[in-house]
Structure 1
């Protein structure tokens, strides 16, 4: 099982093995068709190039400048309202350049809607700037720009011309300067003085096209692309039959773009200046209002400088607090002195003399009172309390005490009034101190608003000057690197190299595709190699070449290709015959095929003649009794018994012996015995199963060196299989360009089931181009045809 799988794998690998040499040789055999296709394609290409209008390429290079690279635009970049977040992309600018408005302006500036053509022998040529006439229109441009028309002007002389709408209409003669009525209004034809004389007799076609149509056409034909990724260098190119026209279109397109960008920037500058003027007036009003608010605030709050006055309030508050504390301390001292004086238990006690709180009267009375007390104490040591001096001192002390109380009361009232005044003043100062932050906040808010308005006012004044300057210093957005020029130095179309290369390619491709498709759908075999690929386990004896004419039978000592091919088959058969050990009927050779028309009878006759050429006794039996064809090869033999007694008669009539049915014929110098088929019977299959078949083959196999049996096709009828046991060897015929590959499966089945003994294959009718594994080698000793270049050799 494993061996079988390995064999299958090897067979599959052989099936898919690509043979380049063979594949190339398949197409090389058809070199005549390839040559014819190449000649036709190259000839058509030459004619096309000869009569095709050449086209030229005009190309220019520009660099797109950023607004920040323009000094005039830098002034406006700081304005957030007009500044862009980022530079315009190159692709966006390309779309702007190709916009319809630019292209319409180009058509109008160059008058491209009015074109003049002169007719040559094959095609028309445009007279871009060389037209000898000029067309002038009476109607407005808006009507002409939307008009589409054609007419012809034939110059008769320097003063007259013929006018016609088309080539078929009758011409009308007009003078130069005369008004010609048309469907779109009157036109006036004027000559160019320098060139009109040289164009007498010439016919000029005038074409008027719509502006919109031409703008759309230019949009599709103009090519604008960046030179590289992230590059601001842009290439502008245009292809046209007139190189000067192409250059003018490219240069005008760039000029229109620059004019448009300059106008756009000027408009922006003007609008910006107007906007700034309006803003300056509004900001000036706001600034005056802010100043008035500050004045009203200071006037209403009676302040000049809130910060300095706040400091003064703080100092005044501190002084007032000190004075208030001092007054309260003095009041406390007076209250203490008063409480001391009111205490009866301490009537003769000294009082503090330093608690007068600065009142000199109280201080003097307290000092006098303390002195008298000291004196009384001293007197009491030597005298009693009833002593007149002591009593006098007591009266004096009481008067002083009363005066002191009166002074203290007066000072207390005065201090309380002072303290109330200080406290009121303190509250007033504190109120002002508390109101300072709010006033300062309000003042700063007003001053901040004024500062913003003032800085914005100064900024707008500066920008107004810059905008005014930018109006006189606006630069274009595109800088020309290379003006339009003829890049190729000549026409780019038609490209002869590419055209001829394409013709060569197509000239080779057409026959290649034809034969490729033909081979792709080819289901027939063509030579020995194809047969060996389809059937790998059956020996292929050889190939028989395709023969033209009536010489289809080999001759004695013949050296033709046909004869040599049969000699090769004979040699190969003898080799195979020696390797096979066949006990019975080793010299009996059956010739069959799958279907009719594959050359069994042709092969049988020529194989018999080839074997007879070696002086062997050869018998040819026509066993295809349904459709006998052996007579076709011996029609020149005139015998009375020809066609009367054959195999059919032998099998039907038991009285007929073998010798009576066999006749000797001389064909092309070779003598062979032939047992013809005889008459066509009604029951050929049953007849071939006759018991007389075995004695027939037993006898002829003994009498002859070779017995060749021409049988019926094996797949169409069962005749051959009915008596195949009498075959020592079987030659199975196939025919090139006739036998289908799929029906060869029948031959495989016959071989696999051993229904035919010793099967060998032969390919018939092989074209000499496919002969010998696809190579045309010829035969040794055969005359060779001399080619054109070696005929004289």
Structure 2
């Protein structure tokens, strides 16, 4: 039976294969999501660009000049070791100075950037910088003005009058230009910069005054200084601001202020240096005169001439004696080494070193002879033993030579020791004479050294005093302008190209991510392909499309219906007929059970429509509501026109032996399509026991004979045991699953039912399949009515 249950229209499992086309189709069929997300992202990007204040960039190039390239106090001492670190100005230090708080505060104050004028717009306001319309004159001191917050509104009415508001929602107060206005920081006088103010009449202008200290962080953050190349002294100074001309002025003023400060500091250093050098020269002059007097008195009192030359002579003799003594010591070490190599009488014969540079050549000749005999002995030993007379004779000769060498070496050692003692005595005498050189020589050297040092320092200070004096009149700035500040015509922010590219990327990424995560977390079946991939050995009869209205129980196949729903049931009817003929079931071949795993998968909807589809062929069809726990087929009674029938159902029949099968049958007419039906009846307290009644078999025996098809709507097989209790009366079982509802994991229960043959002739159907996942009928719409839809309707139907 299991073999017969396979059919040609059940596909093999391919769930483990990588299917690129399927993966791409999950995204392409939701193309409307991508389109809507892309349009939304582009709209947000356009709005952001439209209403974001543009930022313009200005830049200049300057060369940072070190002190050695210009003048100043640093240049005066650049060759001293203690000032060598300042020989070339560190670029990082200069950058830190340029962006220091003090310099930026000076720039803000010089350009009056703490006072700003804004023209009110519909969305945002625009700053007036180049054509600021008014002069703001404060009675209070600059220190108070530069550290205060103030905000007020001006609306020019004419060349002489304007409306004044301290706050935006205040009632305007009419005033005249030049009139004193009381504010929280003191009186303010406003005057127009030009006689013609017609271009700003009627415009709301906001005047904002900000403390300079509060503006410093903003401008410090905006300023960028970086070398154009590594190790280059040319620095690119750049800045971004909503007003291009303000950025240009700020950069130029920043360079000017920096140069003024560096020149001022250099002049202060040069003056201080010159004063310091003058004081030092006076001290050195006095010290040098004292040293000259001491040197003159010392030489006269001790009657010294050139004692240094005599001391140098003794030093030369001492060095020569030490050299000769080292040579004699080396010779003695050589003799001792060779004596050690001879060994003691009775030791084995070993080769002796030659050409060691001994003064006694006879020792060298004897050693050479010794080595020749030893070589001959070793050569003969290769072919004879030590008892050979020749070997014995050679041993005697070698012993004689060794004794002779030992005696010669002892004599040479005694001679060398005598020479060494003589040289040591000579060296002692020379050193004593050297040590006897008068100590006055050293004292004289100290006096002359101090005299030379004082003289060199005196001459050096005279030279530096002249350089420092010159630097006072020739001070150059640290920053040389290579390129004046220049501003780009197009704004650098917001970057339209980058923003649009980013919006396109985000617009495509967002739906992609949603679909990807949704598919990643999805554990439900969605169409026939998913079902076959999960259960490959059970026939799948077909798919039921998702209906466009709410309750599917209200949708029934009508007579001569050409809808997609009707065609889907016709396909299932045809496939079922094919499987039925192939199985050749003898008992209850026309009884079809409809069940599912859990509740809500559409059993009653499918049972009713399958019965109507079979009835459309002229067959006699009976629909039995066997789900007596939760009957849903009774809705047909409310939708149809009842021709004949009663209120008695299956529950009453099983419970009351006096009720016959015919008493329970109701005939319904749905738009001309007639069908008999046994209702479920009242919900009993013991449904399982009631279904085990002996009256079930007579019921199925009778109706299977009287009708061409008997469709039985049963309870969910996994939740309750009702369906399994009466499964022996089923010739075929259609097992319903629902797209987007039935989880793949619970289909293991379906596999178990099939493997253990608990349900006869199991066949599968996928209900509520989305048309984007549906098969041929929905894709090509061959039989379905061609409904014309507008673009938006098609768009949202795709998205759903």
Q: Does 1:297 align with 2:298?
A: yes
TM alignment of 1:642-661, pairs within 5 A: 642-644=646-648, 646-654=649-657, 656-658=659-661, 661=664
What is residue 63 of structure 1 aligned with on the other side?
A: 63
| Preserved contact between residue 118 and residue 127 of structure 1 (Cα < 8 Å) | yes
What is residue 614 of structure 2 aligned with on the other side?
A: 611
TM alignment of 1:372-451, pairs within 5 A: 437-451=438-452
Match of 1:751 among 745, 750, 754: 754
Q: Does 1:153 align with 2:154?
A: yes
- Deviations 1:708-756 (Å, cap 9, x if unpaired)? 2211122332111111122232111122344344544433443344322
What is residue 390 of structure 1 aligned with on the other side?
A: none
CA distance in 2, matches of 1:434, 1:741: 111
| Preserved contact between residue 306 and residue 439 of structure 1 (Cα < 8 Å) | no
What is residue 167 of structure 1 aligned with on the other side?
A: 168
CA distance in 2, matches of 1:149, 1:213: 13
| Preserved contact between residue 132 and residue 195 of structure 1 (Cα < 8 Å) | no
- Deviations 1:495-525 (Å, cap 9, x if unpaired)? 3333444444454455555555555655544
- Deviations 1:759-782 (Å, cap 9, x if unpaired)? 222122223233239x95043243
TM alignment of 1:236-247, pairs within 5 A: 236-247=237-248
What is residue 739 of structure 1 aligned with on the other side?
A: 742
SS in 1 for 2:736: strand
Alpha-carbon deviation of 1:222? Answer: 2.0
CA distance in 1, matches of 2:781, 2:33: 26
What is residue 726 of structure 1 aligned with on the other side?
A: 729
What is residue 120 of structure 2 aligned with on the other side?
A: 119
Structure 1 residues 229 and 307, CA gap change in structure 2 (3 angstroms): closer
TM alignment of 1:353-364, pairs within 5 A: none
Match of 2:642 among 624, 633, 638: 638
What is residue 399 of structure 1 aligned with on the other side?
A: none
What is residue 626 of structure 2 aligned with on the other side?
A: 623
TM alignment of 1:455-474, pairs within 5 A: 455-474=456-475
What is residue 495 of structure 2 aligned with on the other side?
A: 495
- Deviations 1:599-648 (Å, cap 9, x if unpaired)? 2122122222323444445443332233333342254343443333x444
Q: Structure 1: which 5+ residue stretches go unaligned?
A: 1-12, 315-431
Match of 2:718 among 705, 715, 719: 715
| Preserved contact between residue 66 and residue 87 of structure 2 (Cα < 8 Å) | no
What is residue 426 of structure 1 aligned with on the other side?
A: none
CA distance in 2, matches of 1:776, 1:673: 31
| Preserved contact between residue 634 and residue 667 of structure 1 (Cα < 8 Å) | no
- Deviations 1:472-499 (Å, cap 9, x if unpaired)? 3333333333322223x22223333334
CA distance in 1, matches of 2:449, 2:506: 85
Alpha-carbon deviation of 1:33? Answer: 4.9
Alpha-carbon deviation of 1:150? Answer: 1.4
Structure 1 residues 308 and 143, CA gap change in structure 2 (3 angstroms): closer
SS in 2 for 1:109: helix
Q: Does 1:543 align with 2:543?
A: yes
What is residue 284 of structure 1 aligned with on the other side?
A: 285
What is residue 317 of structure 2 aligned with on the other side?
A: none
Structure 1 residues 44 and 548, CA gap change in structure 2 (3 angstroms): closer
CA distance in 2, matches of 1:742, 1:136: 82
| Preserved contact between residue 278 and residue 465 of structure 2 (Cα < 8 Å) | yes
CA distance in 2, matches of 1:552, 1:309: 133
CA distance in 1, matches of 2:21, 2:676: 46
Once the two structures are overlaid, the 10-residue window that deviates more, 476-485 or 172-181, is 172-181
What is residue 685 of structure 1 aligned with on the other side?
A: 688
TM alignment of 1:206-605, pairs within 5 A: 206-303=207-304, 305-307=305-307, 437-487=438-488, 489-509=489-509, 511-512=511-512, 522=522, 524-548=524-548, 552-580=555-583, 582=585, 584-605=587-608
CA distance in 1, matches of 2:475, 2:258: 14
CA distance in 1, matches of 2:711, 2:492: 74
SS in 1 for 2:485: strand
**Which structure would you say has the larger RCO, counting Cα contacts within 8 Å and 6 or more residues apart?**
2
Match of 1:777 among 759, 776, 779: 779
Q: What RMSD in Å do the two structures reach over aligned CA positions?
A: 3.6
Alpha-carbon deviation of 1:173? Answer: 4.6
| Preserved contact between residue 643 and residue 679 of structure 1 (Cα < 8 Å) | no
What is residue 429 of structure 2 aligned with on the other side?
A: none
What is residue 794 of structure 2 aligned with on the other side?
A: none
Structure 1 residues 14 and 276, CA gap change in structure 2 (3 angstroms): farther
TM alignment of 1:46-125, pairs within 5 A: 46-70=46-70, 74-84=75-85, 87=88, 89-125=90-126
Structure 1 residues 597 and 157, CA gap change in structure 2 (3 angstroms): closer
| Preserved contact between residue 306 and residue 440 of structure 1 (Cα < 8 Å) | no
Structure 1 residues 453 and 546, CA gap change in structure 2 (3 angstroms): same
- Deviations 1:367-393 (Å, cap 9, x if unpaired)? xxxxxxxxxxxxxxxxxxxxxxxxxxx
SS in 2 for 1:697: helix
| Preserved contact between residue 162 and residue 173 of structure 1 (Cα < 8 Å) | yes
SS in 2 for 1:61: strand
SS in 2 for 1:259: helix
Structure 1 residues 729 and 474, CA gap change in structure 2 (3 angstroms): farther
CA distance in 1, matches of 2:620, 2:459: 134
CA distance in 2, matches of 1:217, 1:576: 81
CA distance in 1, matches of 2:564, 2:121: 62
- Deviations 1:269-297 (Å, cap 9, x if unpaired)? 33333333232222222211111011111
Q: TM-score, normalised by structure 1?
A: 0.74
Once the two structures are overlaid, the 10-residue window that deviates more, 520-529 or 116-125, is 520-529
- Deviations 1:550-574 (Å, cap 9, x if unpaired)? 8722234432211211122223323
Structure 1 residues 584 and 91, CA gap change in structure 2 (3 angstroms): farther
Q: Structure 2: which 5+ residue stretches go unaligned?
A: 1-12, 315-432, 792-800
Alpha-carbon deviation of 1:787? Answer: 5.9
Q: TM-score, normalised by structure 2?
A: 0.73
Structure 1 residues 225 and 776, CA gap change in structure 2 (3 angstroms): farther
Structure 1 residues 309 and 24, CA gap change in structure 2 (3 angstroms): closer
SS in 2 for 1:559: coil
CA distance in 1, matches of 2:434, 2:653: 158
SS in 2 for 1:126: strand
Aligned residues: 656
CA distance in 2, matches of 1:51, 1:594: 57
Structure 1 residues 607 and 210, CA gap change in structure 2 (3 angstroms): same
SS in 1 for 2:83: coil
CA distance in 2, matches of 1:53, 1:577: 75
Structure 1 residues 86 and 306, CA gap change in structure 2 (3 angstroms): closer
CA distance in 2, matches of 1:143, 1:679: 93
| Preserved contact between residue 241 and residue 247 of structure 2 (Cα < 8 Å) | yes
CA distance in 1, matches of 2:258, 2:167: 39
Structure 1 residues 584 and 258, CA gap change in structure 2 (3 angstroms): farther
CA distance in 2, matches of 1:472, 1:776: 96
- Deviations 1:522-555 (Å, cap 9, x if unpaired)? 5544333343444444333221112346872223
Alpha-carbon deviation of 1:213? Answer: 0.6
Alpha-carbon deviation of 1:119? Answer: 2.4
Structure 1 residues 515 and 462, CA gap change in structure 2 (3 angstroms): same
CA distance in 2, matches of 1:433, 1:502: 91
Structure 1 residues 110 and 568, CA gap change in structure 2 (3 angstroms): same
